[in-house]
Amino acid sequence: MAPVKIWELCAADRQRVFSPFCWAARLAVVHKGLDYETVPWQFTEKEKLQAASGQGLVPVVEDSGKVVNDSFAIAQYLERTYPDRPTLFGGPGGEAASLFVKNWMMLSAVKPALQPLMLVDIHSQLADDDKAYFREQREKRFGNKLEEVCPEGDRPAKLAAFKAALEPLRATLGAQPFLGGEKPLYTDIIVFSFFMMARSVSATKLLDADDPVHAWRERMLDAYGGVGRKAVGYPV
Ligand SMILES: N[C@@H](CCC(=O)N[C@@H](CS)C(=O)NCC(=O)O)C(=O)O
C-alpha cells in the first residue's frame, strides 16, 4: 500500500511542523498504523496546495487517489476507510464526543488562551515570506500588533488563564490515563496537538511537573513510537 501523503504547515526549518490541525492529521494516520510521507508546506506556497487540493488550508491528506482536507474530516475518513485498524473514535458516540472536544479546544479558553502566548514565537520561526504573510493576517485578526497581543507584562496572567482553562482536562486525567480511557483515542490527539504546536515553536513552560496534564502529555509524547517526542521542537 502506498504511504499516505500529509501536507503539513512548516516553519523556515521544513522539519518544524507547528499547526495543531496538521499534528492531529499526522497522529490520526499514525494511530491507524499507516505508513505516511509528509509534504512540508509554507503559508506562501498557496498555488501548490490549491493545485493539489482545490483549497488553501492544511492539513490535506492524499490516500489512494482520494484527497481530504480538514483535520476532523481526515479522522472521519480514516475511521471509515480503515475500520479494521485501531479505532480513532471508539464508535459513533466517541465520534460525537470528539466533535465536542474539538469545539471546546477551539472556542473555549484553551485555544484563545494559548494562541496569544505563542504568536511571537510562531512568527520568529517562519520563513521570511511567511513572516510578512503571518503578521498581516494575524494583526488583522487580533486587531493589534503581534507584539501587543500578549506583551511581556501580560504573560504571567495569560499563562495562569491557560492553566485554569485546563481544569476539566486535569480532573479527567487525574482519574484515567487518557481521555480515551486506558489508551489514547482521537480526543487525546485533538488536545495533544495543541501542545505539539506549543512545543514545536516555543520554550515557554506551560505545565507544572506535578500537573496530571503534564504526566498525560509525557505519555502522549511517547505514544505511537514517540512521534511527538522525536519531532523538531523544544523539550519543555
Ligand atoms: N478547521 C481546519 C483548520 C485548518 C487551518 O486553519 N489551517 C491553517 C494552519 S493552522 C492554514 O492552513 N492556514 C493557511 C493560511 O492561513 O493561509 C482543520 O481542522 O483542519
Percent over 70 (pLDDT), the chain: 100
Q: Do 219 and 178 reside in the same domain of the chain?
A: yes
Do residue 69 and residue 100 come from a single domain?
no
How confident is the model at residue 51, as a pLDDT? 98
Tens digits of per-residue pLDDT, 130-177? Answer: 999 999 999 999 999 999 998 889 999 999 999 999 999 999 999 999
Distance 212 CA to ligand 1 centre (A): 29
Measured in Å, residue 60 CA sits from the centre of ligand 1 at 10
Does pLDDT of 112 surpass 90?
no
All cell numbers assigned to 30: 499514525
* Closest Cα to atom 13 of ligand 1: 57
Same domain, 163 and 209: yes
Question: What is the position in ligand 1's atom list of the atom closest to the CA of 69?
Answer: 20
Q: How many domains does the chain have?
A: 2
Q: What is the DSSP string of 62-121?
A: EETTEEEESHHHHHHHHHHH-TTSPPSSSSHHHHHHHHHHHHHHHHSSHHHHHHHHHHHH
- Domain span at residue 76? 4-87
pLDDT value at 109 more than 80:
no
Of 72, 87, 102, the position where a domain reaches its end is 87
Q: Which of 12-26, 148-162, 222-236 shows the lowest per-residue confidence on average (mean pLDDT)?
A: 148-162
Same domain, 59 and 129: no
- Specify the ligand 1 atom closest to the Cα of 137: 16
Looking up cell 476539566 gives: 168
Residues 24, 106 within the same domain: no
Task: Tell me: do 139 and 37 sit in the same domain.
Answer: no
What is the average pLDDT score of the chain? Answer: 96
CATH of the domain at 131: 1.20.1050.10
Sheet holding 60-63, edge to edge: 36-41, 4-9, 60-63, 66-69
99 and 211 share a domain?
yes
- Whether residue 143 is found in the same domain as residue 73: no
Query: pLDDT tier at 77 (50, 70, 90 boundaries)?
Result: very high
Ligand 1 mutation target, pool 8, 47, 58, 118, most atoms within 8 A of CB: 58
46-76 pLDDT, tens digit each = 999 999 999 999 999 999 999 999 999 999 9
- Quick one: 65 and 113 in the same domain? no
Does a structural domain hold residue 145? yes
Residue 125 pLDDT greater than 90, yes or no = yes
Does residue 25 lie within any of the structural domains? yes
